[in-house]
Amino acid sequence: MRYFLLGYMGSGKSTLGKALSQRLGVGFVDLDVRITEQIGQSIASYMADKGELAFRKVEHSVLERLLAEDHDNVVVALGGGTPVFYNHMEALNAAGTTVFLDVSVVELAHRLEKDMDRPLINGKDDVAEFVAKHLFERRPFYSLAQHRVKGDALTVEAILEVIG
């Protein structure tokens, strides 16, 4: 089975994805790592050089290749914006089990204020306000996930309970 973890940046997709893959005894793929390998630089520097649209095109290409791979048992941590572009949610739902890690704006802002190197929040004065507006725009896409795990202290156990 393929499991795709999605949610806003800072929601724990990579951290929980690694732990979940270990618990299930399956592989783990971090889409952002795959993209970084493809572009040969950090996502932040790529976006600064070429812009978000160019990044989203690369992200789409890398995701398409990943979905075409013969991975039956894998947990994939998606980028925060991955579900929003192209037909990604439709493709992800068709390819496996999608799980939305739904963390509150307050908690996300708290986590992200410790990591201001992320391209979309770098230089923002009011991280909580930016996250609230951005999450509002993305939530309709995230809500297309087959499962939702809600809370500010998500655990692998909570994900396992939801995905059965």
Residues 134-157: tens digit of each pLDDT: 899 999 999 999 999 999 999 999
* Phi, then psi, of 101 in degrees rounded to 5: -90, 100
In sequence order, the β-bridge partners of residue 29 are 76
Residue 124: pLDDT band by 50, 70, 90 thresholds? low
- Angle, to 10 degrees, between the axis of helix 43-50 and the axis of helix 52-68? 130
pLDDT at res. 97: 97
- pLDDT tens per residue, range 42-61: 998 999 899 999 999 999 99
Question: Nearest 5°: phi and psi at 100?
Answer: -90, 115
The pTM of this model reads: 0.92
Domains of the chain: 2-159 (3.40.50.300)
Strand, coil or helix: what is 3? strand
